[in-house]
Amino acid sequence: MEFEFDDKMPIYLQIMDHIKMDIATEKLKVNDKLPSVREMATILKVNPNTLQRAYQELERLGIVYTQRGMGTFVGERKHMIDDLKQEMAKEVIDSFILRMKRLGFNEEEIIESISKNITEVKKNV
């Protein structure tokens, strides 16, 4: 697991996002075991308390669960993958819309530019 941190943002939130992403894209599947806090801390070169906090928050959200003495696992919450995808898609779209508005586009223009570009992207993929 290799990724670049943006030190301007809380580290635990970035770790949470990364794990959510891995679950949404099914790199991590239901009941897969996550690396231990210590392992992950060493890999990412991050304070173990920060990792602990990320895991605790994920558990609070029902995304992972902990089994005493066994470790932390991907949860079985219903529709979790879809929910995570929706949640992350919303973040991408919200920030996109915000930036387009800052550029001076109004709502119709935003929609128009999306439908125009989506066909172009399709050609290129």
Partner 1 sequence: MYNVLEAENVCKSYLNKRALQGANLTIQQGKILGLLGPNGSGKTTFLKIAAGILHPSSGKLLIDGQEPGVYTKSIVSYLPDTEYLFKWMKIKDAVQYFKDFYTDFDEKKAFALLEFMKLDANSSVKSLSKGMKEKLKLTLVLSRKAKLYILDEPLGGVDPTAREKILDAIINNFSEDSSMIITTHLVNDIERIFDDVAFISDGEIVLQGNAEELRLNKNKSIDELYREVFQ
48 belongs to the binding site for partner 1 (CB under 8 A)? yes
For residue 3, state whether it binds partner 1 (rule: CB under 8 A). no
- Quick check: 50 and 12 in contact, CB under 8 A? yes
Task: State in angstroms the smallest separation of the CB of 32 from partner 1.
Answer: 24
Half-sphere exposure of 59 (CA within 13 A, CB side): 13
The least CB distance from residue 11 to partner 1, in Å, is 6
The answer to whether 51 touches 41, Cβ cutoff 8 Å, is yes
End-to-end CA distance of the chain: 27
Q: Give me the torsion for CA of 65, 69, 71, 75, rounded to 10°.
A: -20
CB of 48 to partner 1, least distance (A): 7
Q: How many CA atoms lie within 13 A of 98 on its CB side?
A: 6
Q: Does 95 bind partner 1 (CB under 8 A)?
A: no
Q: Contact between 62 and partner 1 (CB under 8 A)?
A: no
Residue with smaller CB distance to partner 1, 8 or 122: 8
Q: Which of 10, 26, 86, 107 binds partner 1 (CB under 8 A)?
A: 10
User: Cβ 35 to partner 1, closest distance in Å?
Assistant: 13
Residues of this chain that interact with partner 1 (CB under 8 A) are 5-12, 38, 41-42, 44-50, 53
